[in-house]
Structure 1
């Protein structure tokens, strides 16, 4: 009972923070995922250290430089809409990203105990796996049609739809799997996942988006976009969940972190989004 109460309180707090960050303004949304990106990168680095002990030998310059580079890269992808006195966060981010990606290997050569291109590769892979998807999520949330006097308009509907579709898919997959799930889906990666639960979650997520889009959501987006967002969230969100589960298996840990009692870490909460967001970004560039 105590565990259930803890998980419930944490979940409610998490939902409130997410909704507040998404709905308040474009800047609050940018800031929310700036923080999430920072801590998710730290958790990724922790997983890699468990998987390959060589990564524990990187210099403090490398370890901290990756976090700075991750924040800078996020700014460069998502920060063009925010700035002051002629400078945008995007421009500052590109400069800092270039500097740290250039200087970080040099610092590792000079200060690292055992220089290895492999450890540099792990860090670059972390930026690709964690930072780029979060940056793309924010980028797709702004209309590229410039409104005179206002710039690019923040459209909270897009990220909220994708995130809600992921939540619905995860919840329905858990419920269906608990009720009728018998056939393991990926026993070597996630023993509790079943084919029945996974397929049921996908179908119900798409059905929920279709019903909402048909009766209420058509005034904001055409029905096909509601269905497409839900399908992307269901299929690629599941792939993201399995990918992070695989990383945790290799690392020999249950959760990526412990910052959210009863729910693990940031990677545990946003693993689905890391794969679904880039696909949604591509879909929007092609069809919106």
Structure 2
């Protein structure tokens, strides 16, 4: 009972902090995710036993450049495809049955693009509109939360078939489908409040976010299993580390950014 209460209190504080910065102003939102990115990198660095601090410098340089300095669509597109390429390559690591040992260079590339650029694209998503699109980014958070919550509830109630027991023994196919279905229901509601996307575009965005987010969750679990640890950190009582909370969002962000760009292109 104490564990549930602790998780609930931490979860409420996390959500209030996140949504509070969204509605405060864009600079507060940017700063929060810059800090979150640094925290994720610290936890990743410790998990894969990467020495040195150059990944933090590389991340801060990229973050500052692409959030405040670079407005060239070509350069942003290049960063997006580099990030997606690294993410897709990591799926081979996720589904490989053979142990994988990364070199220092590979660990650094993964840090900068998978985590660093993932946080950058999450921060850039609201700026796809003329103004800071509060309800758009809030909708993406809600889709992730709805999927996580109902995947857990449906999986615990109806789950019988393991999704990927070698990495995450508790996740089930039934739970994953339940999370997706409820995320689509949430998307239909969000379409009434954030009208820059049609209901069909919300459905596509929700599906991409849920699938990519679920892969991101499994990927972080694979890194932790390889390192022999349960949580990436202990900063969030009952939830583990910042990376534990953002693993889905960080992996899904560049794919969501790509989808939103395609929506703009075909509109």
**Which interval holds the TM-score relative to the shorter structure?**
0.7 to 0.9
In the superposition, relative to structure 1, how do residues 230 and 22 fare at CA in structure 2: closer, same or farther (>3 Å)?
Answer: same
Q: How far did residue 154 of structure 1 move?
A: 1.3
Partner of 1:7 in structure 2?
A: 7
Instruction: Tell me which of 200, 210, 228 is aligned to 2:178.
Output: 200
Higher CA-based Rg: 1
In the superposition, relative to structure 1, how do residues 211 and 18 fare at CA in structure 2: closer, same or farther (>3 Å)?
Answer: closer
Query: Matched residues in 1 for 2:129 and 2:197: separation?
Result: 16
Q: How far did residue 222 of structure 1 move?
A: 1.7
Q: How far did residue 120 of structure 1 move?
A: 2.8
Instruction: Tell me which of 62, 78, 83 is aligned to 1:73.
Output: 62
Query: Matched residues in 2 for 1:68 and 1:79: separation?
Result: 16
Query: Matched residues in 2 for 1:218 and 1:42: separation?
Result: 35
Is contact 1:161-1:229 (8 Å) kept?
no
**Which structure 1 residue ranges, 5 or more long, are not aligned?**
50-54, 83-116, 146-152
| SS in structure 2 at match of 1:193 | strand
* Cα-Cα RMSD: 1.9
Partner of 1:17 in structure 2?
A: 17
In the superposition, relative to structure 1, how do residues 81 and 16 fare at CA in structure 2: closer, same or farther (>3 Å)?
Answer: farther
Partner of 2:155 in structure 1?
A: 177
For residues 181-214 of structure 1, the C-alpha deviation after alignment (integer angstroms, 9 at most, x for no partner) is: 011110000000011111111112112212442x
Is contact 2:135-2:193 (8 Å) kept?
no
Partner of 2:112 in structure 1?
A: 127
Query: Matched residues in 1 for 2:115 and 2:20: separation?
Result: 22
Partner of 1:140 in structure 2?
A: 125
For residues 207-233 of structure 1, the C-alpha deviation after alignment (integer angstroms, 9 at most, x for no partner) is: 2212442xx336443212221221122
**1:150-165 correspondence to structure 2 within 5 Å:** 153-165=131-143
| SS in structure 1 at match of 2:233 | coil
Query: Matched residues in 2 for 1:198 and 1:283: separation?
Result: 21
Query: Matched residues in 1 for 2:30 and 2:135: separation?
Result: 15
Is contact 2:149-2:179 (8 Å) kept?
yes
Q: Which has the higher contact order (CA 8 A, sep 6+)?
A: 2
**Which structure 2 residue ranges, 5 or more long, are not aligned?**
72-101
Q: Which has the higher strand share?
A: 1
Query: Matched residues in 2 for 1:44 and 1:202: separation?
Result: 28
| SS in structure 1 at match of 2:239 | coil
Q: Spell out structure 1 runs of 4+ moving beyond 4 A.
A: none
Partner of 1:189 in structure 2?
A: 167
How many pairs were matched up?
A: 234
Bigger drift between 64-73 and 247-256 goes to 64-73
| SS in structure 1 at match of 2:169 | strand
Query: Matched residues in 2 for 1:25 and 1:284: separation?
Result: 22
Partner of 1:26 in structure 2?
A: 26
| SS in structure 2 at match of 1:229 | helix
**1:27-66 correspondence to structure 2 within 5 Å:** 27-49=27-49, 55=50, 58=51, 63-66=52-55
Partner of 1:113 in structure 2?
A: none
Query: Matched residues in 2 for 1:178 and 1:72: separation?
Result: 43
Instruction: Tell me which of 223, 240, 251 is aligned to 2:227.
Output: 251
Partner of 2:74 in structure 1?
A: none
Query: Matched residues in 2 for 1:66 and 1:235: separation?
Result: 28
